[in-house]
Structure 1
Amino acid sequence: MDVHIPPVIEGDPLRVSASGYVTWKQCPERAAARYRGIFGKPSRPGFKGTLAHQIFRRHLTKGPISEEEFSQACREEIGSSGLSQQMGELGLRPSDVREIIGEVQSLYRRFVAFPEDGFEGAEVELSYETEPDLELYGRIDAVYRPEEGGHRLVDWKTGELGDPNDQLLFYGLLWALAKGELPVEVVAVSVATGERFERGPERADLERVADEVADLVNAMRRSWAEGSELERRAGPWCRYCPILEECPEGQAAEALLG
């Protein structure tokens, strides 16, 4: 599979993830903030989503979780991950945690109805070093091998489906680079609503994403070398932006979108 990242300017080491790529397409300066280590504060929806993903992985790798065991399984997942620290940061009380576990259990009841035929792996981590100082990496929620061959990459959403196209194509590019083959399908499924987005990525799709990844790298390295800011773009993503307080564009978008 002859897809590659175009040559980029030399500079500081850079790791590009799916979330970093999607953030850059939304707002380059917000992506730059991520690379400076500035992230948004933990949120209750984020806590619930992370816990749900860990429960989905547990189901796929260890088997079904009974109604009686569900609460304990959630508490084990919280205790063995960064979620335990987030509990304190969010100020969650025991009653809040019980409520969140109930919400995750509702999602799990929907999740178990999805077919598992051809399942190969959960939370599959991939990385690809295109040159010594540039690495692409990502974690795919689930990988399946359909009967007709190839691989299907699946991303679970615990809220609304949104527009997952850029994220999925990044995973498709990363899979092609790391595995030497195109995935036959990239899929996003909202466990909450049942919405589904799927496409069979073509080489032209992945070449476009590869070009955009190179643009991201060049923009970041120029910004770091010059000490300059990147373009700010307002949109619904501004609500949880960690640099909202210093961004007039984002504040205007928030006021408009409510």
Structure 2
Amino acid sequence: MKLVRYGESGAEKPGLMDGDTLRDLSGHVDDITGAMLDAATLDKLRAIDPSTLPVVSGSPRIGACIGGIGKFLCIGLNYSDHAAEQGLPIPAHPILFFKANSAIVGPNDDVVMPRGSKRSDWEVELGVVIGKTAKYVSEDDALNHVAGYCIVNDVSEREFQQNLTGQWTKGKSCDTFGPTGPYLVTRDEVADPQNLDMSLHVNGKQMQVGNTATMIFSVAQIISHLSQLFTLHPGDVISTGTPPGVGDGMKPDPVYLKVGDVMELTIDGLGKQRQEVRQDA
């Protein structure tokens, strides 16, 4: 299934994609949140004949594909070719940082550069949505705790990230710096999360291209590792790292976002994102 949340920010309704048609799920669930990502509820939704659901008319705003996200966890330097372009060593363990939940927006909402931004950058990433509580899970069992997958743009302000003494979270958590969605694609529709092509374009020019096969730590390894440190709960999102082609790694000179730029992101089977960049007042 491709689960969707649509409507104005803060008042999103649950939906389901029936081919290219958006249908309303409000008669069956209140929202797409961690509370309804258990196997029994997802099985009930799969059993619904989509043609019996009301068609959503017009072109409503699409919200983040999960409401009430618990933890927004991010893995840094998780692609070998991205680490190389940054001139950084391969990490021995997954690098973890958090993105503030106030950064979360819909997949096509504007990205707003904060005051003082000099080096805002893009990062297409595979998002993993936890559907079953995970504590001390093995790598072999880890994917059984996944509800589904989505696209995340881990927008980053490199000046804040690298030069404002502290942790990466400073440059990762600006408002609107976490576009998520458009769909939560349930696990059964993603045959292999380690074989997904991904790309990002800025103003129509391809900047990033990669495949999840070049991850240093697989989705299963990441979930298992994090679950040894703390409990993962339904509705937690893990953004699993980005392939090469970020603006900060461009040679001979870095390239950063500017007002009016348009980012377009795709991952196989997970849909597309599109954001226009503007400046905070």
Query: TM-score by structure 2 length?
Result: 0.23
Higher helix share: 1
Computing the radius of gyration from Cα coordinates, the structure with the larger value is: 1
Query: TM-score by structure 1 length?
Result: 0.25
